[in-house]
Chain A
């Protein structure tokens, strides 16, 4: 059985007997395993966080009755700010990784892939930071002064 040596710089490792490839030499990592596990764990948590969020604001409160006052009243309670932080972080990171899967599927040229990923990650992480900033710096006194 002759082993096929992968070309230098290839993202694949050596061809494995019976199909597939070994992990590339020199940069073994369990990142894809952790990302696979994170998608299942965060997905399970998000089912409860996101569906409660949707039922609460769309069906119990109603979008027509929304106002800045109503949202701030909700945010007075640290529990709901913590809830929103959890929802924000899990949803954004779950979405970021899902988008990474899609980009790696459709953008095959290495240079273009890096460029598209850079734009996508910047967009997602910036909006995540803006959301986290609002939640973490929320202070009823500051909110009242801005009125």
Chain B
């Protein structure tokens, strides 16, 4: 029996020919558990921003490493795939006629994920190849605005003995 074979070992599970239905199920579960693991870390780490800002800045240093840049692309991929495949599941659940095209819909979810990830990966990885960071112009304007407000307060500091 196919199901008994599949439950034997990892290699048997991987050679079990469940086709699109099996692979989308595995990807959906793997991306979901991966997102949950990051979510737990991310929520606790972001919560420190209010009462321990120095600790938060320490966490940010980790995020700004080259290794984490790839991890962020992987997280982005996981969320996009989980979202699109989840949409497919909802469509199939509430409009059962779509089940007749479940194989094509599975490929559509995967294909749209790849299409979305091409520009996203490009924008996030480009700085490693010497390109601009995402949001660089926005950041520069923000720094300029901050510097423009500093001179107005500095004379007060100079007057006090």
Q: Which residues of A contact B (CB under 8 A)?
A: 40, 43-44, 46-47, 50-51, 54, 58-68, 71-72, 75, 88, 91-92, 95, 98-99, 102, 123-124, 127-128, 130-131, 133-134, 137-138, 142-143, 146-147
- A59-B120, A95-B39, A147-B53 known; A71 and B80 CB under 8 Å? no
A139 closest partner in B (C-beta): B50
Number of CB contacts from chain A to chain B under 8 A: 125
Q: Is the Cβ of B80 less than 8 Å from the Cβ of A134?
A: no
The B contact surface, by secondary structure, is: helix
Q: Is the Cβ of A131 less than 8 Å from the Cβ of B43?
A: yes
- In the assembled complex, which residues on chain B have CB atoms less than 8 Å from the CB atom of A99? 33, 36
- In the assembled complex, which residues on chain A have CB atoms less than 8 Å from the CB atom of B136? 62, 65
- A59-B120, A59-B135 known; A40 and B47 CB under 8 Å? no
Q: Is the Cβ of A58 less than 8 Å from the Cβ of B29?
A: no
Q: CA–CA, A8 to B32, complex, Å?
A: 36
Q: Could you say which of A60, A68, A123, A124 contacts B57, with CB atoms under 8 Å apart?
A: A68
Q: Could you say which of A67, A92, A123 contacts B60, with CB atoms under 8 Å apart?
A: A67
- In the assembled complex, which residues on chain A have CB atoms less than 8 Å from the CB atom of B83? 43, 46-47, 50-51
